[in-house]
């Protein structure tokens, strides 16, 4: 069974790579404007982009070759795990992405951790006493939080925490405390959702007969939670956490832009606007494959937690 | 920003929940403002009057003026119309595409089913923002590009839900009987699938619209979305942000507009909880 | 997963106390695109990691840099630069004439201003550097002060002549570079001149103007370069921050395709110019008291002409001129002539946030005189593209005339007779001759005034506003400067203010 699931993920990885290739190929085909000029603008800035600079770029990068030829070259390179060279910086795409992916994962990890500390515990507490004051308060709070787009959350946090209170740096990268505000921005959005998920799962479990039976046996609330509750909501939570990764990647693009965080989202936006096709291909591919790998990991984890679970 | 948080339990009892009533009411309010404001106080959202920069409300602009002396009410309404229209078109297209493919997968089964599921899973692996940005490059940054990009992101939830539900329903004896009696797919869909699918599709649609609106605003906020001077909520916030000390109300307006819109859609998406 | 979590926890909750003690943080919008001067030299020069042969003071006068003095031969075709003795690169190797010649050769091989200078050879001559030209070129020393002519050590370049490391001679030495957003540097003890006062500095690129202003406001950055107009007003009232401002030789211009049938008559261009309320635009968007009434601001004394008739705002006169040219208002108020609508596309780019806004204002102003403008806010490179294929109507752009401290360099490439960011479809032989003479070192103030009067009369571009460069500096540091030529921020001379 497990091999079959992994085989499916491998097929998914192949389709992802193909989709990225096709999309970026279309992008190259349809690029409004002259690629050499765009790259020159990205490299030398708007004060220095001239016909001469564009001609130099065109000659250097061999932009005269047709797009399909470039596509074939990319596919061939991919086979050798070579992502090519950024046309803007001239450095290997792999080097650029590695640095930026590291920064993004750092941020995403911190956000996930913070949200895991905030959301599920609150949700479980609320779920144990469904309908109580904590449950109702949490419902209002999470509905409100979910209606605040992440960029807005970031803005509110900067103005509140950095400007009014001067507790934390408003933006930047390089010192430990720089990560707190962007991570919190992402975490609050995630926690709003995970708290509801945990609450619903917990409320469901708590209403089941074996839970009542446990209570009747005289197990304490804490023992109950450990013995029956957590394992039963574990599968839902793991599946859910992996889905949160998608939300994180989306949020990271925006949050990185506001906080000046040198991550993958920042790189992606820049690459698209600089027409840095190898960078776009590289980042899209890595993000897509990362998600597939996470899916595979989730498959494995859910089986570990609950061996009964057999997916359709 | 996906449907990950939707608790898609089939409604135990028919009829909207109180949350859905509240969401519907707020959404009507927002829609009413977006399309009604220009009827009440006609004003061109692009029309500038530099002397009135950040001025307070008057009869011509009941919500005051922005930094270029443009009517905030006109701009807010235009921005909402834009976001809601793009979201509406995208959700509609995604709904038709996703539901169609979902029924197809469930109906035909076999390799068609497997191929479609593989495609959907693979598209899901690509971040939606990336998709919208790339489509934006391919067919330059027009509202149409946003609608298409968003459609490509949103159809998957419709597809997954429809496929799962339809597969369950198609196996039911009533449907088997209908198919044996020679009723066509159209009849089976209307008679057997639609009544169960509809309320769930509403939830997916509301979530999809919320996702779309957030995404459009986020792109506007990082200055890669709809281009100025066409008003857009995220972009309005960026433009008004530097003036947050001088004119906090001006910044607050797009903020509250987007908050209410998304809140309404989220509430609307909340089905009856068991 | 567990080690990762612990690690994250540790970094998350590490004590932030005094982390910035003794480190000066500089924030600017420019991203680090690599080590090479051609792409990121503007950052390396501001962070004083590397130096040029020639420096410029705030008035644009050239001063000694890595070259102590220079002379030109009588025929104007040969320049000798005497190099500063006893200078070492950050890798410990000495600055030699051969190293300088190689560095300049690498710079000249890339697109930029230096490759437009009529240079035939750059070669060492004993301890000195000899540059030979094919024709006299007076602004050569000014060209060598540009950031793309930064001198790196031979070890910094790869086989293709691209710099892969930053090994300069400046008072600061690069310790860490995290492209594209951050670099760190420390004082270089082997510096030939006055050593830097603050031992450690960082550079952080922050693209969003709002975020930069917030960084200044919260006190996280000590020197924040380039503020948006609205934030200047706000930051001026914030304690602990001082806003520096200086007029720079950068002008907001409308580039006009003089080859366009509706715009070929100078009178038509004059009408467009009369329609623009420069003061209103400058106050509302740039928040400056006045707009530009000629190409150069008073701060560029050599090229600003006192007593030149200023460009005015008079929509009535504009309408009258267009009526004389045969344009009649159509049913929708837009002018038409022989069935042709007076409809133009204004191309601009969002890299500078004020441009699309200014474009929107100009669109409204031109609508007042019956000219229909469609705004196309796109990639900056579309302007040279459309210049080349002739499809440009109007372009709104912010042109830097001080890419080298002597504006003649930019005027030469932009207006004699035309260029990607200057005149289009316009040719004035008398003007071209004047400018070429000036570039060759012949002529003086009278010739410059004459040339500027010609531009004012013909309007191949319509000046709209003169820029100010702004920076927010923490009151905790002294010695910060703002340079009209954007070469220095006074980094090595900054010091902490003792409380």
C214-248 tens-digit pLDDT:
888 888 899 999 888 878 888 888 888 999 998 88
Q: Nearest to residue C285, comparing CAs of C352, C357, C235, C211?
A: C357
Query: What is the edge-to-edge ordering of all strands in the sheet holding C128-133?
Result: C67-72, C78-83, C128-133, C119-125
Q: Where in chain C is the domain with CATH 3.10.105.10?
A: 249-467
Q: C395 to chain B nearest CA, in Å?
A: 16
The answer to whether A282 faces chain B, any CB pair under 8 Å, is: no
The answer to whether B137 faces chain A, any CB pair under 8 Å, is: yes
Per-residue pLDDT at A216 exceeds 70: no
Q: Considering chain B, what percentage of its residues have pLDDT values greater than 90? A: 26
Per-residue pLDDT at A210 exceeds 80: no
DSSP track, B3-47:
GGG---PPPSSSS--HHHHHHHHHHHHHHHHHHHHHHHS---TT-
Interface of B with A in 223-242 (CB under 8 A): 224, 234, 237, 241
Instruction: Look at residue C419 and give its three-state secondary structure.
Output: coil
Interface of A with B in 70-99 (CB under 8 A): none
Q: Tell me which of A11, A112, A151 to substitute to probe the interface with B (most B C-beta atoms closer than 10 Å).
A: A151
Contact call for A48 and C31, based on CB within 8 A: no
Q: A276 to chain B nearest CA, in Å?
A: 12
In total, the C-beta contacts within 8 angstroms joining chain B to chain C are 56
What whole-number distance in Å separates Cα of residue B80 and Cα of residue B27? Answer: 11
The answer to whether A89 faces chain C, any CB pair under 8 Å, is: yes
Per the model's pLDDT, the better-predicted residue between B225 and B23 turns out to be B23
What whole-number distance in Å separates Cα of residue A3 and Cα of residue A8? Answer: 9
Q: What is the pLDDT of residue C21?
A: 59
Q: Tell me which of C20, C24, C181 to substitute to probe the interface with A (most A C-beta atoms closer than 10 Å).
A: C181
A138-183 tens-digit pLDDT:
888 888 888 888 888 888 888 888 877 777 777 777 677 788 889 9
What 3 state SS string does chain A have? CHHHHHHHHHHHHHHHHHHHHHHHHHHHHHCCCCHHHHHHHHHHCCCCCCHHHHHHHHHHHCCCCCHHHHHHHHHHHHHCCCCCECCCCCCEHHHHHHHHHHHHHHHHHHHHHHHHHHHHHHHHHHHHCCCCHHHHHHHHHHHHHHCCCHHHHHHHHHHHHHHHCCCCCCCCCCCHHHHHHHHHHHHHHHHHHHHHHHHHHHHHHHCCHHHHHHHHHCCCHHHHHHHHHHHHHHHHHHHHHHHHHHHHHHHHHHHHHHHCCCCHHHHHHHHHHCCCHHHHHHHHHHHHHHHHHHHHHHHHHHHHHCCCCCCC
* The CATH classification of domain A101-273, taken from the options 3.50.50.60, 3.30.700.30, 1.10.3720.10, 2.40.37.10: 1.10.3720.10
Which chain C residues contact residue A38 at CB under 8 A? 379, 381
Q: Nearest to residue C355, comparing CAs of A46, A48, A269?
A: A46
Contact call for B126 and A20, based on CB within 8 A: yes
Can you say whether residue C398 is alpha, beta or left, with left for phi > 0 and alpha for psi between -120 and 50 degrees?
Answer: beta
pLDDT averaged per 10 residues, chain C (length 499): 41 39 87 88 94 90 93 92 95 95 93 85 93 92 91 94 93 90 92 93 87 86 88 85 90 93 93 94 85 90 89 94 93 90 90 83 91 86 89 93 83 87 90 91 89 93 92 93 90 88
- Count Cβ atoms below 10 Å from residue C351 Cβ, excluding itself: 18
Q: What is the pLDDT of residue C496?
A: 92
Q: What is the pLDDT of residue A231?
A: 65
Q: Which chains touch B (3 or more CB pairs under 8 A)?
A: A, C
Q: What is the mean pLDDT of residues B203-225?
A: 85
Per-residue pLDDT at B7 exceeds 60: no
Q: Tell me which of A59, A61, A90, A271 to substitute to probe the interface with C (most C C-beta atoms closer than 10 Å).
A: A90
Q: Tell me which of B50, B221, B246 to substitute to probe the interface with C (most C C-beta atoms closer than 10 Å).
A: B50
Q: pTM for this structure? A: 0.79
Say which of B223, B228, B242 has its CB closest to residue C230: B242
Contact call for A270 and C180, based on CB within 8 A: yes
Contact call for B229 and C356, based on CB within 8 A: yes
Q: What is the pLDDT of residue B226?
A: 77
What whole-number distance in Å separates Cα of residue C38 and Cα of residue C166? Answer: 12
Which chain A residue's Cα is nearest to B3?
Answer: A243
Which chain A residue's Cα is nearest to C33?
Answer: A89
**Most confident option among A160-164, B140-144, B260-264, C2-6:** B260-264
Q: B131 to chain A nearest CA, in Å?
A: 9
Contact call for C234 and B46, based on CB within 8 A: no
Say which of B1, B4, B125 has its CB closest to residue A16: B125
Q: What is the pLDDT of residue C315?
A: 94
Q: What is the pLDDT of residue C5?
A: 41
A78-119 tens-digit pLDDT:
777 777 777 777 778 888 888 888 888 888 888 888 888 888
The answer to whether B248 faces chain A, any CB pair under 8 Å, is: no
What whole-number distance in Å separates Cα of residue C124 and Cα of residue C104? Answer: 11
Which chain B residue's Cα is nearest to C361?
Answer: B48
Q: Nearest to residue A252, comparing CAs of A206, A211, A308, A290?
A: A290
Which chain A residues contact residue B106 at CB under 8 A? none
Which chain B residues contact residue C359 at CB under 8 A? 229
The answer to whether B144 faces chain A, any CB pair under 8 Å, is: no
Q: A174 to chain B nearest CA, in Å?
A: 22
Q: What is the fold, at CATH topology level, of the domain defined by C1-29+176-240+475-499?
A: D-Maltodextrin-Binding Protein; domain 2 (3.40.190)
The answer to whether A250 faces chain B, any CB pair under 8 Å, is: yes
Q: Which CATH class is domain B17-39+71-268?
A: mainly alpha
Per-residue pLDDT at A308 exceeds 80: no
Q: What is the pLDDT of residue C3?
A: 42
What whole-number distance in Å separates Cα of residue A239 and Cα of residue A307? Answer: 15
Contact call for C284 and B229, based on CB within 8 A: no
Q: What is the pLDDT of residue B245?
A: 78
Q: What is the pLDDT of residue A227?
A: 63
Which chain A residue's Cα is nearest to C403?
Answer: A47
Say which of B2, B133, B139 has its CB closest to residue A30: B139
The answer to whether B142 faces chain A, any CB pair under 8 Å, is: no
The answer to whether A241 faces chain C, any CB pair under 8 Å, is: no
Which chain A residues contact residue B241 at CB under 8 A? 155
- Enumerate the domain spans of chain A: 1-88+274-312, 101-273
Q: What is the mean pLDDT of residues A196-216?
A: 73
Per-residue pLDDT at B77 exceeds 90: yes
The answer to whether C381 faces chain A, any CB pair under 8 Å, is: yes
Per-residue pLDDT at A235 exceeds 70: no
C325-359 tens-digit pLDDT:
999 998 888 999 988 999 999 999 877 778 888 89
CATH of domain C34-170: 3.40.190.10
Q: A20 to chain B nearest CA, in Å?
A: 8
Q: What is the pLDDT of residue B93?
A: 96
Contact call for B242 and C375, based on CB within 8 A: no
Q: What is the pLDDT of residue A230?
A: 65
Q: Tell me which of B228, B240, B246 to substitute to probe the interface with C (most C C-beta atoms closer than 10 Å).
A: B228
Q: What is the pLDDT of residue B108?
A: 86
Q: Is the ipTM of this complex over 0.95?
A: no
Q: Where in chain C is the domain with CATH 3.40.190.10?
A: 1-29+176-240+475-499, 34-170
Among A210-214, B150-154, B191-195, the least confident range: A210-214
Say which of C20, C202, C206 has its CB closest to residue A260: C206
Contact call for C284 and B53, based on CB within 8 A: yes
Q: What is the fold, at CATH topology level, of the domain defined by C249-467?
A: Dipeptide-binding Protein; domain 3 (3.10.105)
Q: Tell me which of A35, A46, A276 to substitute to probe the interface with C (most C C-beta atoms closer than 10 Å).
A: A46
Interface of A with B in 21-60 (CB under 8 A): 23-24, 26-27, 30-32
Say which of B53, B242, B246 has its CB closest to residue C213: B242
Which chain B residues contact residue C357 at CB under 8 A? 68, 228-229, 239
Q: Which chains touch A (3 or more CB pairs under 8 A)?
A: B, C
Which chain B residue's Cα is nearest to C378?
Answer: B227
The answer to whether A43 faces chain C, any CB pair under 8 Å, is: yes
- Count Cβ atoms below 10 Å from residue C116 Cβ, excluding itself: 17
Length of chain A, in residues: 312
Contact call for C220 and A34, based on CB within 8 A: no
Contact call for A288 and B139, based on CB within 8 A: no
């Amino acid at each position: 069974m497990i091999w079959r699931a992994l085989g499916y993920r491998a097929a998914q990885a192949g389709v992802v790579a193909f989709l990225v290739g096709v999309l970026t190929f279309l992008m190259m085909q349809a690029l409004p404007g002259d690629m050499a000029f765009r790259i020159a603008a990205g490299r030398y800035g708007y004060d220095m982009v001239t016909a001469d600079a564009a001609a130099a770029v065109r000659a250097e990068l061999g932009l005269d070759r047709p797009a399909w030829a470039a596509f074939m070259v990319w596919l061939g390179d991919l086979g050798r795990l070579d992502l090519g060279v950024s046309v803007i910086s001239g450095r290997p795409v792999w080097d650029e992405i590695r640095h930026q992916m590291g920064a993004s994962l750092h941020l995403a990890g911190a956000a996930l951790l913070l949200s895991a500390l905030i959301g599920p515990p609150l949700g479980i507490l609320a779920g144990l006493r469904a309908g109580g004051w904590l449950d109702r308060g949490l419902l209002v709070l999470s509905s409100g939080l979910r209606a605040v787009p992440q960029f807005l959350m970031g803005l509110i946090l900067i103005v509140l925490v950095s400007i009014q209170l001067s507790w934390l740096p408003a933006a930047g990268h390089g010192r430990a405390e720089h990560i707190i505000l962007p991570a919190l921005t992402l975490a609050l959005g995630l926690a709003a959702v995970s708290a509801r998920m945990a609450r619903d799962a917990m409320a469901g479990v708590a209403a089941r007969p074996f839970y009542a039976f446990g209570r009747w046996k005289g197990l304490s609330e804490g023992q109950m939670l450990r013995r029956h509750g957590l394992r039963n909501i574990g599968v839902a939570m793991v599946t859910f956490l992996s889905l949160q990764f998608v939300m994180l990647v989306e949020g990271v693009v925006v949050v990185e832009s506001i906080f000046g965080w040198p991550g993958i989202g920042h790189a992606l936006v820049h690459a698209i606007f600089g027409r840095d096709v190898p960078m776009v291909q590289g980042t899209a591919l890595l993000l897509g494959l990362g998600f597939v790998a996470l899916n595979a990991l989730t498959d494995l984890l859910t089986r570990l937690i609950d061996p009964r679970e057999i997916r359709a | 920003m996906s449907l990950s948080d939707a608790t898609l339990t089939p409604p135990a009892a028919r009829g909207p929940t109180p949350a859905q009533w509240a969401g519907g009411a707020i959404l009507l309010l927002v829609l009413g403002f977006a399309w009604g404001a220009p009827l009440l106080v006609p004003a061109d959202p692009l029309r500038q009057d530099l002397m009135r920069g950040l001025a307070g409300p008057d009869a011509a602009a009941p919500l005051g003026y922005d930094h270029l002396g443009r009517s905030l009410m006109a701009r807010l309404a235009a921005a909402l119309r834009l976001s809601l229209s793009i979201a509406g078109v995208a959700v509609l297209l995604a709904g038709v595409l996703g539901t169609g493919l979902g029924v197809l997968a469930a109906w035909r089964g076999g390799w068609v089913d497997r191929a479609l599921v593989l495609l959907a899973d693979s598209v899901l692996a690509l971040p939606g923002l990336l998709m919208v940005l790339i489509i934006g490059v391919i067919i330059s940054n027009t509202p149409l590009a946003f609608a298409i990009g968003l459609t490509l992101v949103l159809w998957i939830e419709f597809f997954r839900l429809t496929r799962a539900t339809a597969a369950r329903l198609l196996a039911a004896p009533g449907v088997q009987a209908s198919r044996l009696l020679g009723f066509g797919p159209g009849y089976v869909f209307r008679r057997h699938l639609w009544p169960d699918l509809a309320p769930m599709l509403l939830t997916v649609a509301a979530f999809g619209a919320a996702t779309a609106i957030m995404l459009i605003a986020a792109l506007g906020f990082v200055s890669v979305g709809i281009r100025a001077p066409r008003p857009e909520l995220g972009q309005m916030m960026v433009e008004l942000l530097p003036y947050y000390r001088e004119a906090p109300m001006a910044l607050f307006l797009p903020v509250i507009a987007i908050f209410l819109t998304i809140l309404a859609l989220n509430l609307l998406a909340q089905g009856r909880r068991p | 997963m567990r080690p990762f979590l612990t690690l994250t926890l540790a970094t998350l909750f590490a004590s932030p106390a005094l982390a910035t003690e003794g480190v000066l943080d500089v924030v600017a919008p420019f991203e680090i695109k690599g080590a090479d001067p051609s792409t990121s030299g503007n950052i390396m020069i501001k962070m004083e990691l590397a130096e040029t042969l020639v420096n410029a003071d705030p008035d644009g006068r050239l001063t000694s840099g890595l070259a102590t003095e220079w002379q030109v031969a009588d025929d104007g075709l040969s320049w000798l630069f005497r190099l500063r003795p006893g200078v070492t690169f950050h890798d410990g190797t000495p600055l030699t004439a051969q190293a300088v010649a190689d560095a300049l050769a690498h710079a000249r091989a890339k697109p930029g201003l230096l490759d437009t200078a009529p240079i035939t050879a750059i070669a060492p001559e004993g301890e000195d550097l000899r540059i030979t030209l094919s024709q006299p070129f007076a602004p050569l020393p000014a060209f060598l002060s540009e950031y793309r002519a930064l001198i790196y050590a031979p070890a910094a370049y790869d086989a293709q002549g691209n710099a892969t490391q930053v090994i300069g001679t400046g008072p600061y030495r690069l310790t860490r570079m995290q492209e594209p957003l951050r670099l760190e540097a420390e004082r270089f003890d082997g510096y030939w001149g006055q050593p830097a006062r603050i031992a450690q500095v960082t550079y952080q690129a922050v693209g969003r103007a709002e975020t930069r202003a917030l960084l200044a406001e919260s006190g996280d950055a000590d020197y924040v370069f380039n503020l948006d107009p609205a934030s200047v007003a706000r930051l001026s009232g914030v304690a602990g921050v001082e806003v520096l401002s200086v007029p720079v030789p950068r002008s907001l211009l409308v580039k006009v395709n003089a080859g366009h049938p509706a715009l070929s008559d100078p009178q038509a261009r004059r009408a467009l110019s009369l329609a623009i309320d420069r003061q209103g635009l400058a106050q509302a968007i740039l928040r400056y008291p006045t707009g530009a009434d000629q190409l150069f601001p008073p701060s560029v004394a050599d090229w600003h002409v006192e007593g030149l008739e200023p460009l005015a705002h008079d929509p009535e006169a504009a309408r009258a001129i267009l009526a004389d040219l045969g344009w009649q208002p159509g049913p929708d108020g837009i002018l038409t002539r022989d069935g042709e609508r007076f409809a133009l596309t204004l191309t601009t780019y969002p890299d500078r946030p004020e441009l699309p806004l200014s474009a929107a204002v100009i669109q409204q102003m031109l609508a007042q005189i019956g000219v229909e403008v469609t705004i196309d806010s796109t990639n900056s490179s579309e302007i040279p593209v459309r210049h080349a294929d002739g499809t440009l109507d109007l372009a709104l752009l912010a042109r830097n005339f001080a890419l080298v401290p002597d504006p003649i360099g930019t005027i030469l490439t932009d207006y004699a007779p035309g260029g990607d960011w200057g005149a289009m479809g316009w040719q004035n032989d008398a003007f071209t001759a004047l400018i070429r003479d000036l570039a060759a070192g012949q002529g003086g103030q009278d010739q410059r005034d004459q040339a500027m009067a010609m531009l004012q009369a013909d309007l191949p571009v319509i000046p709209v506003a003169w820029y100010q460069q702004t920076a927010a500096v923490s009151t905790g540091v002294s010695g910060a400067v703002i340079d009209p030529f954007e070469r220095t921020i006074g980094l090595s001379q900054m010091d902490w203010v003792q409380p």
